[in-house]
């Protein structure tokens, strides 16, 4: 009976949605699809911004949000007693690591506790926060049942559907990204999937349990973590051997099957890829299992910021400069292109590891002349609108040669999308750009190892080699 009633109400757009935490893009899509939506957050500032029609996250358009608020389709609140009005509740809260690099699920626990006291019959509850397999059934379900007096599968449906967000991506947004749903019981899966299908354009993949969906999300991000670790290690080896890792990757990706290109970087950033594998390795120990490959990749990636500083030190030494006491101009702190989010950014670790230097930080190069520094550290190069294609121009001022590489097959865009440090445009980033000492030697063809490049589509980096960003010179080159 509950299943049929909910399916009819979904079709009639009679469901009231509640979104707890960071799920503003999801809340907006639900409201746009015709479902009245309430956003819950403990931070009054965010609640006030939403109710005034201002977003606090880049993937939401202000005028769309304002229109939904004015129409009464979306509102924010910090009053969790209003949970009782919601028929569908999505939990989208952070799942960070604690100081011991172990899962911190306190946000999930406190949110579920708050929901449980106001949960009413015939409600769908979905956890979207990335977590270890078993969280939905072993943590969320007992709290909801104990505090509400309701029974899962009889009085309410519970499931897991991992959030999939790629900040700055202009192609794939919440609405058109495929979704995975795993409920406790077949009916729960079917009803929750129907709710997402009523809102999203992307496919909805139904799996047999929440644990499958939880593990699937961990696999997505661990896959990237491990492959980035592989290419970071290969990049170090290629440097020692005097081989261009970029040419190696370009040659390898000519194979039309069985290979996907990843690119070296300064480490991992953001709220997913650097953290999620730790959830799996922590859970694996419960079963006496050690995820050796995953743990090794994390060791490699965690060591990249120090490797960047070490490379910088050697470059400065060739100019008879010590890194201790040098002035270092740091451009770009966000963890990827076209966003203002620096959570877990490797830039912060690079700056920390380069202790003893005077750091001149600037996203706006107009504020600081590059000549003021002994060393220029570009941690974020310019973006191309977030599509993930290689590109961007980066050449030494007044030089046409750069690092002696070949023209890039995808010329960079012309205009304000390309950041020019000399013109003072905002420096955006797809990830790591380069490490090079200012004025070490001639800016023409240089021996291997003078510059450290880290970039790559969808792996925190765009193919934009060069010493400085110069919008007057548009031809991008690869380093030797």
Q: Could you list the active site residues? A: 272
Indicate if the alpha-carbon torsion angle 421, 427, 430, 435 is positive or negative.
Answer: positive
Give yes or no for a contact between 21 and 41, defined as CB atoms under 8 angstroms apart. yes
- Residue 446 vs residues 10, 397, 403, 443: alpha-carbon distances, Å: 63, 16, 6, 7
In whole angstroms, give the CA distance from residue 286 to residue 283: 5
Task: Quickly list DSSP for 91-110.
Answer: EE----B-TTS-B--HHHHH
Largest CA distance in the chain: 79
* Start-end of H helices in 53-166: 62-70, 106-116, 135, 141-148
In whole angstroms, give the CA distance from residue 399 to residue 443: 7
* Other CB atoms within 10 A of residue 151 CB: 12
Edge to edge, the sheet with strand 375-378 lists 358-361, 327-331, 375-378, 434-437, 452-453
Residue 106 neighbours by CB under 8 Å, 6+ apart? none
State both tokens at 33.
Answer: 């699809």
Instruction: Please return the burial class of 264, using the count of CB atoms within 10 Å of its CB with bins 0-12, 13-18 and 19+.
Output: buried
């Amino acid at each position: 009976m509950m299943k049929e009633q909910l399916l009819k109400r979904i079709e009639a757009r009679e469901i009231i949605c509640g979104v707890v935490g960071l799920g503003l893009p999801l809340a907006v899509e639900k409201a746009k699809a015709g479902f009245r939506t309430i956003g819950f957050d403990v931070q009054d500032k965010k609640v006030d911004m939403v109710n005034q029609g201002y977003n606090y996250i880049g993937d939401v358009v202000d005028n769309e949000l304002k229109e939904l608020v004015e129409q009464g389709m979306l509102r924010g609140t910090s009053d969790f007693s209003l949970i009782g009005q919601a028929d569908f509740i999505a939990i989208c809260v952070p799942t960070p690591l604690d100081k011991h690099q172990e899962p911190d699920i306190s946000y999930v626990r406190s949110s579920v506790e708050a929901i449980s006291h106001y949960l009413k019959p015939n409600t769908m509850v979905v956890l979207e926060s990335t977590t270890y397999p078993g969280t939905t059934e072993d943590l969320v379900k007992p709290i909801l049942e104990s505090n509400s007096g309701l029974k899962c599968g009889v009085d309410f449906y519970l499931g897991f559907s991992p959030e999939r967000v790629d900040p700055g991506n202009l192609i794939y947004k919440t609405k058109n990204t495929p979704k995975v749903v795993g409920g406790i019981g077949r009916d729960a899966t079917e009803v929750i999937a129907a709710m997402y299908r009523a809102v999203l354009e992307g496919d909805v993949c139904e799996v047999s349990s929440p644990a499958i969906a939880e593990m699937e999300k961990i696999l997505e991000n661990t896959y990237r973590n491990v492959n980035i670790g592989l290419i970071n290690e290969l990049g170090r080896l290629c440097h020692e051997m005097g081989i261009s890792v970029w040419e190696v990757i370009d040659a390898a990706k000519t194979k039309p099957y069985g290979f996907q290109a990843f690119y070296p970087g300064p480490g991992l950033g953001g709220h997913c890829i650097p953290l999620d594998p730790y959830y799996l390795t922590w859970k694996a120990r419960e079963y006496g299992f050690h995820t050796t490959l995953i743990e090794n990749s994390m060791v490699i990636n965690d060591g990249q910021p120090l490797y960047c500083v070490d490379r910088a030190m050697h470059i400065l030494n060739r100019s008879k400069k010590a890194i201790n006491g040098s002035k270092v101009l740091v451009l770009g702190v966000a963890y990827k292109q076209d966003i203002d989010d620096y959570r877990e950014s490797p830039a912060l670790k690079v700056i920390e590891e380069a202790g003893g230097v005077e750091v001149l930080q600037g996203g706006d190069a107009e504020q600081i002349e590059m000549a003021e520094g002994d060393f220029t550290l570009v941690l974020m190069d310019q973006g191309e609108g977030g599509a993930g294609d290689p590109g961007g121009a980066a050449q030494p001022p007044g030089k046409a040669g750069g690092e002696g590489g070949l023209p890039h097959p995808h010329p960079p865009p012309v205009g304000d999308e390309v950041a020019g440090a000399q013109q003072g445009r905002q420096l955006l980033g797809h990830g790591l750009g380069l490490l090079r000492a200012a004025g070490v030697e001639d800016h023409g063809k240089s021996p291997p190892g003078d510059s450290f490049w880290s970039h790559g589509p969808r792996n925190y980096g765009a193919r934009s080699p060069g010493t400085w960003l110069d919008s007057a010179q548009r031809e991008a080159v690869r380093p030797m």
